Amino acid sequence: MLKRFLPLAFGLLAPAASHAWGVDGHRAVGRIAERHLTSKARQAVQRLLGTETLTLVSTYPDEIRFYPEFKETGPWHYVNTASGLNQEQYLTELRGQQQANAYNVLLAKLKEVKDPTKTPAEQAVALKFIVHLVGDAHQPLHAGHAEDKGGNDIKVKFRGKDTNLHSLWDSGLIDYQGLTYTEMSQAYDCKLPRALTQVWEKATVEQWFWESYQASEQIYKEAPTGTDIDYKYFPAHSELMKVRIQQAGIRLAKLLNDTLG
């Protein structure tokens, strides 16, 4: 099923305890993006971040979210919707949600980062959230079902240990491959065809979330509650994980080139 699904999802182209892609995944996204910045965008990033880099600030929103003063940022990392939606239904719900979520906060931060009324410090924080939320948008279970908290309530076993579907996709699969974020970014960004990255760059933010939602629908079907995830799962899903991280890095660079360049 996965082979039939991937072209559909990418050819066109949660919950309080979640960390989309984990540290290594987010930093790989940031590192890929750094390689594709224009000189003007790179200068703007350096002006806002100083000695920090996109790679290192990519995990900032996860690092602060458990402090009391940042408690409200928890829901900013995902968009949970009902299951079984078609594209029109999904986009209507995505646009219509009033509570803060990964989609509407990302749009707000894109405005803030170039708002001349904001201080440089405020713009820098906006940039850090942009880097992180682009990664979140591409993790399928951060566009999962509201009824199971983005897969957090779906208990599974992986490598003999109890976990849940959301955590498996946040970091379980990345940890399984055993690469550092530097190794991952180098391997994933090696000789990507420009014709392919141009297709990815044309997708809107709304399309990113729709792609993740489509991917999550397939992931849900393959892992009902109680499933013992065996050694076949990683080979069957590693390409999806890889493509989503690649797309996040390429699209983050495009977003920053257009916004700051």
Residues in the chain: 261
3-state secondary structure of 9: helix
Residue 3: predicted pLDDT: 37
- CA 198 – CA 61 distance, rounded (Å): 29
Assess whether pLDDT exceeds 60 at residue 1. no
pLDDT band of residue 261 (cuts 50, 70, 90) is: confident
Rounded CA-CA distance 9/160 in Å is: 30
Return the structure tokens found at 105: 């906060």
Kindly state the percentage of the chain with pLDDT values over 90.
87
Q: Give the closest residue to 214 by CA, choosing from 36, 64, 87, 47.
A: 87
Q: How confident is the model at residue 2 (pLDDT cuts 50, 70, 90)?
A: very low
Which residues, including other chains, have CB under 8 Å from residue 60's CB and lie 6 or more apart? 128, 129, 131, 132
> Is residue 229 within 8 Å of residue 157, measured between CB atoms?
yes
CB atoms closer than 10 angstroms to residue 91: 17
Domain with 37, as residue range(s), is 2-260
Residue 10 has pLDDT above 70, yes or no: no
Q: What angle do CA 166, 170, 172 make, to 5 degrees?
A: 95
The CATH number assigned to the domain holding 187 equals: 1.10.575.10
Query: Is the pLDDT reported for residue 11 higher than 70?
Result: no
User: Among 13, 11, 213, 6, which Cα is nearest to 93's?
Assistant: 213
Residue 19: the pLDDT is 62
Rounded-to-5 percentages of helix, strand, coil across the chain: 65, 5, 30
Two structure tokens written together for 96: 């219509």
pLDDT over threshold 70, residue 63: yes
Q: Which of 2-6, 38-42, 107-111 has the lowest mean pLDDT?
A: 2-6
- Which secondary structure element, helix H or strand E, spans residue 158, and what is its range? strand 155-158
Q: Which of 21 and 144 is assigned the larger pLDDT?
A: 144
Number of domains composing the chain:
1
- Judged against a pLDDT cut of 60, whether residue 143 lies above it is answered with yes
How confident is the model over 173-232, as pLDDT tens digits?
Answer: 999 999 999 999 999 999 899 999 999 999 999 999 999 999 999 999 998 778 899 999
- Of 155-164, 225-234, 248-257, where does the model show the most confidence? 248-257
